[in-house]
Structure 1
């Protein structure tokens, strides 16, 4: 016989929750069955949904970017401070990764710039709405973000991007930039940067990419 001085055993909390869930599930299911169906979308809403689906679905341009550039690359960078001067040469590595279901290509770059450690982060993709290739770039040598848009020429396997960057020597002035990426073969491609200053375009940088084995 249980003594009055001894406390009655309590049901564990987990058992209480399980019992509550067991009793609640049938009522929740019944409520869902009795809930009114969502109203059908209007033609305008259906068109909007189809447009967004088309805009957000990766296609051939996205697949091409991943096929041509994804992977790990060894780089040889040439930079010209003056068009007539010999270029400075640096080496580095780039790791390109397809992200967001293949919608974007991320580049993580490490190397050197004028003898100093250099790190950069870039993204490339294809904007279905604009019908343009788009790219962005940021690094540890600047607080700016470089944005560019471009096109692809399948005959020459060349991407041409155009953008603008601020001139650090002339606040408020922007420098037109034309970047060219030429695919040589599956293991090699070449990047070139051209800047227009005082109405004249000059090549200021070239990076040769070789796929790491």
Structure 2
């Protein structure tokens, strides 16, 4: 059986086509939870998602604030065709310190959602999961939701960015 080519993946229902749907200028609101059902912070955010390396990847650069302090981050999202999975490398000024979080997830989903799972340590030997879902909700809405996954497998929403496509500048 032959491997899927990049050109086939960029076609209407392929993983790279789904990545391309994220490309644009975005603005919205980010909410953070430390306890279930208790929003710890809510602030405006802006982001740019651009295609990179001929559509092989998308690069998401964003900025916002947490409790009044600026934050920014960069994520590179891709679809690894040989492994049939999505992959992400993510850094930001709030969560990661000096670490790069690498995450992977199955790319075979027909839902169109981008889902990956990474992990981080607490400095005391414990590992926690960090699950990310990106949902393209029509041409002008993008929702990025992150879940903390405790060592026992329990999940809780940690952060969610609800983006709307920014209107192009006129002039």
Instruction: Answer yes or no: same fold by TM over 0.5.
Output: yes
Q: Trace 1:1-213 onto structure 2 (pairs within 5 A).
A: 57=6, 59-60=9-10, 61-66=15-20, 68-141=21-94, 142-152=97-107, 153-154=109-110, 156-167=111-122, 170-197=123-150, 199=152, 200-213=154-167
Residue-by-residue CA offset, 1:91-144 (whole Å, 9 max, x unaligned): 111101101111110111111122211110110011122110111110123211
Preserved CA contact (<8 Å) 2:75 2:91:
yes
- Deviation string 1:43-86 (CA, Å, 9 cap, x unpaired) is xxxxxxxx9xx6884533223211x1001000210101211423
Q: TM-score, normalised by structure 2?
A: 0.82
Distance 1:117 1:146 in 2: 20
- Rg larger in 1 or in 2? 1
Are the aligned partners of 2:30 and 2:44 in contact in 1 as well (CA < 8 Å)?
yes
Q: Distance in 2 between matches of 1:197 and 1:75?
A: 28
TM-score w.r.t. the length of structure 1 is: 0.67
Describe the shift of the 1:151–1:186 C-alpha distance in structure 2 as closer, same or farther (beyond 3 A). farther
Q: Which has the higher helix share?
A: 1
Distance of 1:166 and 1:198 partners within structure 2: 10
Tell me the matched-pair count. 157
| Secondary structure in structure 1 of the residue aligned to 2:155 | strand
> Where is the strand percentage greater, Structure 1 or Structure 2?
2
Checking the alignment, whether the CA contact within 8 Å between 2:127 and 2:151 is kept in structure 1 is: no
Q: Structure 2 CA distance, aligned partners of 1:187 and 1:161?
A: 22
Q: Which has the higher contact order (CA 8 A, sep 6+)?
A: 2
Unpaired segments ≥5 residues, structure 2:
none
**Aligned in 2, Cα 1:113/1:102: closer, same or farther, shift over 3 Å?**
same
Q: Find the residue that maps to 2:35 and give its secondary structure.
A: coil
Quick check: 91-100 or 176-185, which moved more?
Answer: 176-185
**How far 1:205 sits from its partner (Å)?**
1.0
Superposed CA RMSD in Å reads 2.0
